A and B are shown apart, each in its own frame.
Chain A
């Protein structure tokens, strides 16, 4: 927060009706977010009945027992967490140089052009992007054709229809989010900090590792949280890049709800997924506190 937001209340803040500002959104969120999601979570405690959507008063833990007693659901949960974590790390590694270049490019036209590239790729439909990737990464896609014609591999290298392919897809999806988060932070690091380190005799790399990188930490943390949340909740990327063979929680939720009409169990998986995301947020907040700075 800037120095100006001192304790003195002023201007708008003394307006009696300022509460009116927030009431509409709160009402909207309560009615269309809290209540539906709450009802959904409550349904997870209902006995399983195909096709039944409404909440009933019968309560049971059966669905949770089913989730935890079948290895494929537990594996799916683990896979989801692993996937989101790996994607966060890889996205960070790929995004940082890009954000660094954008932040340090002084030519405004070039700088803006790069930002436009990032925003443009973010807006392009995920479905379209995925089909573009599938065409290139398939067993008989461009990359494999090149590899095989150059004699580098015997058979096709499986770049998709597997975990690896899902990672490729998710990183591509998450990159713009991470880049935009990091650019602001890197731009905010006073150059004088790095200059001071250099003038004290540090090499470029040392200055970077000791000064720039740690100073980017708030952006790294909030970007990683965002990417983690986006990756763990994605349905379309695992479905298409995974060839319906990579089981993560959103796919199971979709199957239970949209294919088998087993809503109670689908709700159960949703609760578990929510708890995982909430834990990630809690971890983030904890880390954020200890390194000062953060999203909130």
Chain B
């Protein structure tokens, strides 16, 4: 089945601007709703009178840490309650319920899914509106706002996480596809942002460029059978149990497994893509919820949260005032305005435009 290559109309700029070239798409759905202007937030603590905030974010170990490091205190300080929904994906829920009755007030995304949702309706506040109401946003580097619809608060490079007790070390992107790892390779289900990035990186490696989808499909087909997981923490357990010997993963989380004493190490992809965490705020949430959402985002961007979170999982902050995790700083990583210029951001516009076809084809390859 041939898939037409649909080029992005936008230039692919290095580094920050490419983090979400959607910034340059005029927001076709913008409705100047009076409501959208009403809420202002100045950074102070306020009493929400027990209001409920609907939050969509990853579960498991992630949820545990974020609750401990951020939201439990937030609930106390602002007198509110968080409804934490970890039943990913968020996109279908947003589009089903519609923009005017947002299913979540705050949502945490990887870029591809965020852009897919943003293209489907007027769901989110723009970064301008957020910047005006979230004091800590002023300290964030410009690249954090590149998506136009949410604020990126952390990022991490892609790696292969692999078991060190299964032969030679991994030193090449193509090692994943090697004979010795047959049926012991791990990747993700088609909705997961890591699978999206892996797909683009595979295209870039095996084809002429990241747009060479056919090359990626062929390589992935040859890589079958593979083990499919839904989320990164789950994949860690597969690695630990020895169900998988090499997996697509991200630097910090994989290294936590190493910290626990498992025979695991990481290898950073030479194409250097990064996984980002971006938070959005729903435009048509009720005023109190919106104010809480802004307050929550403000706290998320604060070094008080970003630093311990970074120390634990090696997430790199986008707030210029936050310190780089010590383990990374020791190796020379620095937190600067063009810190991400060294990284490659796949063309997510292109991906989102072709997503339906890519998903269908990947399903076929996986055997679904």
Complex CA–CA separation, A141 to B121 (angstroms): 46
B350-368: CB near A (< 8 Å → 1, else 0) gives 0000001001100110111
Question: How far apart sit A247 and B96, CA to CA, in the bound complex (Å)?
Answer: 25
Segment touching B, from A119-127, A173-181, A254-262: A254-262
Q: Which residues of A contact B91 (CB under 8 A)?
A: 259, 261
Asked if B95 is at the interface (CB within 8 A of a chain A CB), the reply is: yes
Q: Which of A53, A139, A247, A259 contacts B243 (CB 8 A)?
A: A139
On whether the beta carbons of A245 and B241 are closer than 8 Å, the reply is: no
| Interface-facing stretch out of B63-71, B128-136, B183-191 | B183-191
Taking the closest CB of chain B, its distance from the CB of A103, in whole angstroms, is 41
Is B92 positioned at the interface, with any CB of A under 8 Å from its CB? yes
Q: Which of B121, B225, B230 contacts A245 (CB 8 A)?
A: B225
Closest to B230 in A: A244
Contact digits for A259-284, partner B, Cβ 8 Å, 1 yes 0 no: 11101000000000000000000000
B223: interface (CB < 8 Å): no
Q: CB distance A140 to B92 under 8 Å?
A: no
* Given known A-B contacts A50-B120, A140-B243, A259-B190, A247 and B367 have beta carbons under 8 A apart: yes
- Residues of A contacting B120 with CB < 8 Å? 50-51
Q: What are 26 residue pairs bridging A and B, where the CB atoms are less than 8 Å apart in the complex?
A: A50-B95, A51-B95, A51-B120, A72-B368, A76-B368, A139-B243, A140-B241, A158-B183, A161-B225, A161-B227, A243-B227, A244-B228, A244-B230, A244-B366, A245-B225, A245-B228, A245-B367, A246-B368, A247-B368, A255-B363, A259-B91, A259-B92, A260-B92, A260-B356, A260-B359, A261-B95
Q: Determine whether B242 belongs to the interface, using a CB cutoff of 8 Å to chain A.
A: yes
Could you tell me which residues of chain A, from 128 to 148, have a CB within 8 Å of some CB in chain B? 138-141
Asked if A232 CB lies within 8 Å of chain B CBs, one says no
Besides A158-B183, A244-B366, A259-B92, 9 other CB < 8 A contacts? Answer: A51-B121, A72-B364, A139-B243, A243-B228, A244-B189, A245-B366, A252-B368, A259-B89, A260-B92
Interface centre among A255, A257, A261 (most CB of B within 10 A): A261
The verdict on A246 contacting B367 (CB below 8 Å), with A138-B241, A261-B96 known, is yes
Q: Tell me if A83 is interfacial: C-beta within 8 Å of chain B.
A: no
Given the complex, which residues of B lie within 8 Å of A81, measured CB to CB? none
Smallest beta-carbon distance A267→chain B, Å: 13
- Closest-by-CB residue of A relative to B226 is A245
Chain B residues with CB under 8 Å of A70's CB are: 360
Chain A contacts for B367, CB-based, 8 A: 245-247
